[in-house]
Structure 1
Amino acid sequence: MLPNGSIAEPARRVLLIENVQADRYLLRNWLQAEKMEVYEAVDIITGLAACPKFQPNLILLELRLPTWSGYEVIRRLKNDPKTQSIPVIFIADSALTGEKAKGIDMGAVDFISKPFDPVELVARVGSALRTKALLDLLEQRAHLDGLTELGNRFALRDRFPYEWETCRRGENPMAVFIADLDHFKRINDQFGHAAGDEVLRQAARTLRCSVREGDFVARYGGEEFVVVAPNCDLEGAVHLAERFRGEIADLKVCFRNQRIQVTCSVGVALVSDQSGSDALDVLDQADQALFHCKDAGRNAVWVWDPARGGAMPANCSASVALAGAGATLDA
């Protein structure tokens, strides 16, 4: 969205899957004349292979391909999380009402019949692209914390099960930590809520810069943040958490000529193929470690020890021994 509140021009990448050369030529020329980027594919194998790199915003798909029907293609597209949100418009010489109904029911957004009317074609494609842009914007806003621009609880809810299953299938460790800004209510009471908001924004930026590429960061609620770190053992997670804790302690937030000192407490838990915990258990374990950390004085990192069924300080030698087989953090 633009600063004045209007919607930005949507991305206009169109994947055209059509086996008839003359039709491809017409469609390509009309779409390119409207400043759309077009990738042409003569068969479905080529078309599907182009999706990861080209990342189309719309697929124009011939209904009656020589090898696979358009119905089979759209079924594959909608069953793949990476392509299921891409709108599909079927194109066909003629389509019976039943065929159109079946295509729409399977997820197509429109049908365009041959012979093509260029004005109608461009209008339908443009409408589908604008709708796609609006849906993407709604999806982004639904999963984004407006204050910190981190993921929110909805984003965590969607992302965590995926990372959990990936961890268990690949037998790789995954670390989770929950960080909480210490005495945040005092900051709001002493300096005001606008100052508290600035503290949250700067803490979020610090956390985002502290983690590795591929780690997922979300605002969990209030002054709490969650990091999901795939392919990271406990020793690596403690290193990551200590780095964030130290950088927060060094952070001096300046707000209206006032300097605000901030510290944080962090609870860490580990997922591994040996652990019998489920996803909610691991979040609860990190939360329990955080609780003990705050109860013990704050501004520290505590870890959940599954062998003892409790939490302990990260600098305790027993906690370091928890790091099992798995990749360590690339600092």
Structure 2
Amino acid sequence: MIPNGTIEPERRVLLIQTSASERRVLRRWLEAEALEVFEAADAAAGLAACAEVRPSLVLLEFGERTPEGFAALRRLKEGPYTRSIPVIGLSADANSAEKARCIDLGAVDVLSPPFEPVEFLARIGSALRTKALLDLLESRAHLDGLTGLGNRFALEDQLRHDWEVCRRRGCPLAVLLADLDRFKAINDRYGHAAGDEVLRQATAALRRSARAGDFLARYGGEELVVVAPDCDLDGALLLAERLRASVAGLRVAYRDLAIRLTVSIGVAAATDLDQDGPLDLLLQADQALYRAKAAGRDTVCAWGPIDAASIATGAA
């Protein structure tokens, strides 16, 4: 049995093993513990599946029967989106030096048949709980404490990830950079506690208006970012206008006050993701935001030639 800890781990296991009969046995044990199991018969198929499945744990065969196992392990541990996935090596014929090499390459454990169900599942459970704890610590390190959004580190990680996914799939990617208008004046007039409440409520409004697959982060101060995968410039401008309107409709209640908000938004979108890079897209959104501020605030502007593909919705 896999005992329950205080942190509930994700439960997706990718099993990369050549023998179909051995996979059936291990799958039966794992599924009896309510784990979701994905299979691959060789390392190449396993690496492809890993990119799609994003498993919580990989069980990877290596040794004489699967000499490509070491190369696959190295690929997993070098990949920016797979290196944090724990890998347990499985080998019926590896000697001590090969097992040590597997650990040196990044595996968290090595198991050899004949497998005994109780010990096998205990080691699986330990690896999953450790992964859950590390994920929790990483998520806390990547969260903004005031808004609950991702922080700047999380933003850069997510932007790089979405850029690569959109590049592979041939779809566009947009970045929207929003800045609360006259936020310093709110802080100066009503105090920082009022400013904090304004930020929280503006964040909530943006979350309600963003799409399900969008990623939101606090970029710094009163700047909030939306990363919108599979969204071209026209779609991004429509999204930005929806976000702008959601904030313009707010009246933030603070003590006996009703604080009115507006937001300016800069928009940039890329369709050819083999050009430039993700941080260039963020810089373009920042330049578009500067233009939106200069246009009178409460405005959406797109990056590009002056007045190209921009929307002005009125000044605050």
- Fold match (TM-score > 0.5): yes
Residue in 1 aligned with 2:37?
Answer: 39
Q: Is contact 1:289–1:311 with CA below 8 Å preserved after alignment?
A: no
The offset of 1:242, in angstroms, is: 1.9
Which letter does structure 2 place at the counterpart of 1:39? V
Q: More displaced, 287-296 or 176-185?
A: 287-296
Distance 2:273 2:98 in 1: 50
Give, in whole Å, the separation in 1 of the partners of 2:302 and 2:283. Answer: 12
- Whole-angstrom CA distance in 1 between matches of 2:273 and 2:55: 40
Q: 1:237 to 1:110 in 2, by over 3 A?
A: same
- Which structure 2 residues correspond to residues 111-122 of structure 1 after superposition, within 5 A? 111-116=110-115, 120-122=119-121
Paired amino acid for 2:133: L
1:177 to 1:56, Cα distance in 2 relative to 1, 3 A: closer
Conserved 8 A contact 1:90-1:108? yes
Q: Which residue is equivalent to 2:154?
A: 155
The answer as to 2:134 corresponding to 1:135 is yes
Contact 2:64-2:94 at 8 Å conserved across structures: no
Asked if 2 retains the 8 angstrom alpha-carbon contact of 1:62 and 1:70, the reply is: yes
Q: TM-score, normalising length from structure 2?
A: 0.78
Q: Give the direction of change, closer, same or farther, for the CA distance of 1:229–1:72 in structure 2 (3 Å limit).
A: same
CA contact (8 A) 1:13 1:36 kept: no
State the identity as a percent.
56
Q: Which runs of 5+ in 2 are unaligned?
A: none
- Measure how far apart 1:262 and its partner are: 1.0
> Could you tell me how far apart the structure 2 residues matched to 1:230 and 1:114 are?
44
How many residues in Structure 1 have an aligned counterpart in Structure 2? 307
Change (3 A) 1:179 1:115: same
1:190 matched to 2:189? The reply is yes
Matched, 1:314 2:311: yes
> Structure 1: how far apart are the matches of 2:52 and 2:271?
32
Aligned pair 1:10/2:9, yes or no? yes
- Give, in whole Å, the separation in 1 of the partners of 2:127 and 2:168: 37
Q: Which amino acid aligns with 2:157?
A: D
Displacement of 1:197 in angstroms is 2.0
Q: Note if contact 1:94-1:114 (Cα within 8 Å) is conserved in structure 2.
A: no
Give how far 1:225 is off. Answer: 1.0
CA deviation digits over 1:274-330, x for unaligned, max 9? 997654444333323323333443222233333x5x8896249xxxxxxxxxxxxxx
Does the 8 A contact of 2:267 with 2:301 survive in 1? yes
Q: What letter is aligned with 1:43?
A: A
Give the structure-1-normalised TM-score. 0.75
- Local SS of the residue matching 2:236: helix
In 1, Cα distance between the equivalents of 2:126 and 2:154? Answer: 28
Matched ranges for 1:1-331 at <5 A: 7-18=6-17, 19=19, 21=21, 25=25, 35-37=33-35, 39=37, 41=39, 43-44=41-42, 56-64=55-63, 66=65, 69-78=68-77, 83-93=82-92, 95-116=94-115, 120-164=119-163, 173-273=172-272, 279-306=278-305, 308=306, 314-315=311-312
97-106 or 182-191, which deviates more:
182-191
Instruction: Report the equivalent of 1:324.
Output: none
Q: Does the Cα contact within 8 Å between 1:292 and 1:311 map onto a contact in 2?
A: no
Q: CA deviation at 1:99?
A: 0.3
Please give the secondary structure, in 1, of the residue aligned with 2:226: strand
SS in 2 for 1:305: coil
For residues 177-217 of structure 1, what are the alpha-carbon distances to aligned partners after superposition, in whole Å with 9 as ceiling and x for unaligned? 21111121232333333332222122112212223333332
